[in-house]
Every structure is written in structure tokens, then in C-alpha cells.
Amino acid sequence: MTLYELLDPILAGMDYELVDVEQSAPGKLLRVFVDKKDSGISIDDCVAISNHLSRLLAVEGIDYSRLEISSPGLDRPLKKESDFIRFAGKLIKIKLRIALQGQKNFIGIIREVNDGVLGLEVEGRLLHIELDNLEKARLVPEL
């Protein structure tokens, strides 16, 4: 079981969404990015999550020296199909694994997501991109 698979249901039970997990090296920094759909993450949320996960990780024997709980930020990564559905109509920046029309990097608006295919509006045209072909996808911050 991966660390993501371990933490995802635990955080969902606490009414949080696990966005990502980064581990610099075994026994080192463990960074957990969480979000809350309606309100975002507060310092109090980070403290509560940190206290809960510290005990869980000790019981599971996960080796780390420092645990960080963080908001995903304004340029939140999009990883799951449900992320793309949630942020439909928003501007995103993506990088593909395999080039599409000779290009790997795109900035566009999420128009649709159906059966693992992202409909991305780029410069007035709609591109259909397999979610499996995404290397990275992030929201473009609205300032």
C-alpha cells in the first residue's frame, strides 16, 4: 500500500481531501497537501491533521523526521478526474507525457471531462487529451 492509499481514506474521514504526498527520502521530510472543498485549509486544520497523522504514522511504522501539512496553494495540482470536474471552467496549465500536435505544454480552460478524456479549450479550439497522458496539471492562479 502506498502512502497516498494509506492517508486518503483517513483524511476523507476527517472531511479533508488529500491532494498530494511528497517524501524527500525515506526517513526524511514528509509533506502532505490537503484541501477542504468549501473553505480551504486553516492553521487549525493543519494542526489537527498533523496531530492525527503523527499517531497514525507511528502505528504504521512510517519512518520520517519531519511532517509538514500544507494547503495545495493557488496553483493547486490536479491529479484525479474528479479534480478536473470540480474545477471545470477554470484556467489550467498542463504538461503532457507524449506530445499532441508537436506540443507538450498547454494553457487552457477546462470545458469537459468524460471517461478519462479532458476537453481543454486552447486559443479558441477544443483539444481532447487523455488524462493518462498528463505529466502535470495545475490551476493558473486567479489574482
Helix (H, G, I), strand (E, B) or coil at 6: helix
Q: What is the pLDDT of residues 55-107, one digit of tens each?
A: 999 999 988 999 999 999 999 999 999 999 999 999 999 999 999 989 999 99
**pTM for the complete prediction?**
0.83
pLDDT at 143 over 90: no
Report the CATH number that the domain containing residue 119 is assigned in CATH: 2.30.30.180
Res 127: pLDDT: 96
Considering the domain architecture, whether residues 50 and 88 belong to the same structural domain is answered as no
Mean pLDDT score, 114-131 = 95
Considering the domain architecture, whether residues 86 and 130 belong to the same structural domain is answered as yes
Considering the domain architecture, whether residues 26 and 61 belong to the same structural domain is answered as yes
Residue of higher predicted confidence among 120 and 27: 120
Whether 75 is covered by a domain: the verdict is no
Report the CATH number that the domain containing residue 9 is assigned in CATH: 3.30.300
Considering the domain architecture, whether residues 9 and 65 belong to the same structural domain is answered as yes
Res 47: pLDDT: 96
Considering the domain architecture, whether residues 18 and 47 belong to the same structural domain is answered as yes
Considering the domain architecture, whether residues 85 and 61 belong to the same structural domain is answered as no
Considering the domain architecture, whether residues 56 and 104 belong to the same structural domain is answered as no
pLDDT at 1 over 90: no
Considering the domain architecture, whether residues 8 and 58 belong to the same structural domain is answered as yes
Whether 62 is covered by a domain: the verdict is yes
Q: What is the pLDDT of residues 14-50, one digit of tens each?
A: 999 999 999 887 778 999 999 998 888 999 999 999 9
To 10 degrees, the CA torsion angle through 16, 89, 137, 78?
Answer: 10
Q: Where are the beta strands (DSSP E) in the chain?
A: 17-23, 29-35, 66-70, 91-100, 103-114, 117-122, 125-130, 134-139
Res 37: pLDDT: 81
Res 67: pLDDT: 95
Considering the domain architecture, whether residues 90 and 130 belong to the same structural domain is answered as yes
Res 58: pLDDT: 93
Q: Which residue has the cell 486544520?
A: 45
In 22-124, alpha helices (H): 43-60, 81-86
- Please give the tally of structural domains in the chain: 2
Backbone angles phi, psi at 56, to 5 degrees: -60, -45
Considering the domain architecture, whether residues 16 and 65 belong to the same structural domain is answered as yes
Q: Which domain holds residue 91?
A: 81-139
